[in-house]
């Protein structure tokens, strides 16, 4: 009765297959992770400038502002509409254009 020779450890084919799967996962997950980090940075910037918009709207005479954050252009614009102050935050750049507005009472 013959027995099969004992093979301990991985075969070369198993190692190549595992390495190929690792490379496949890296090429799929790395761009996803980079996009996620970019979006987090944009959301942090948006939250910061939204807070600034609230603070500026509380002032008696807010001034228009424009600033650059990397590839984003952030613009704060103030006007008076229907007896109220209107402050708008506009984000442009990176394939996006977002705008949000707040209203405040005149003093």
Total-model pTM = 0.72
Confirm whether 7 is domain-assigned: no
Maximum distance among all alpha carbons in the chain? 101
Confirm whether 49 is domain-assigned: yes
Confirm whether 47 is domain-assigned: yes
- For residue 60, what are the domain limits? 12-105
33 — phi, psi (to 5°)? Answer: -65, -40
**Residue 96: CB partners within 8 Å, gap ≥ 6?**
42
Confirm whether 66 is domain-assigned: yes
Show the CA angle centred on residue 48, arms to residues 80 and 63, nearest 5°: 30
Confirm whether 6 is domain-assigned: no
Whole-number Å distance between alpha carbons of 60 and 73? 25
Q: Is 40 exposed, middle or buried (0-12, 13-18, 19+ CB in 10 A)?
A: exposed
The domain that contains 90 carries what CATH number? Answer: 3.10.450
* Structural domains of the chain, count: 1
Confirm whether 3 is domain-assigned: no
Contact 83, 61 (CB under 8 A): no
pLDDT in tens, the chain (107 residues): 566 666 666 678 888 899 999 999 989 999 999 999 999 998 999 999 999 999 999 998 899 999 998 888 999 999 999 889 999 999 998 888 999 999 988 87
Confirm whether 73 is domain-assigned: yes
């Amino acid at each position: 009765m013959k027995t099969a020779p004992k093979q301990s450890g991985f075969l070369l084919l198993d190692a190549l297959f595992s390495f190929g799967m690792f490379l496949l996962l890296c090429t799929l997950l790395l761009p996803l992770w980079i996009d996620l980090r970019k979006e987090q940075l944009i959301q942090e910037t948006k939250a910061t400038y939204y807070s600034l918009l609230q603070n500026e709207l509380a002032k008696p005479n807010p001034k228009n502002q424009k600033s650059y954050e990397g590839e984003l252009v952030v613009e704060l614009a103030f006007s008076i509409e229907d007896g109220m102050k209107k402050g708008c935050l506009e984000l442009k750049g990176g394939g996006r254009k977002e705008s949000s507005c707040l209203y405040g009472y005149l003093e």
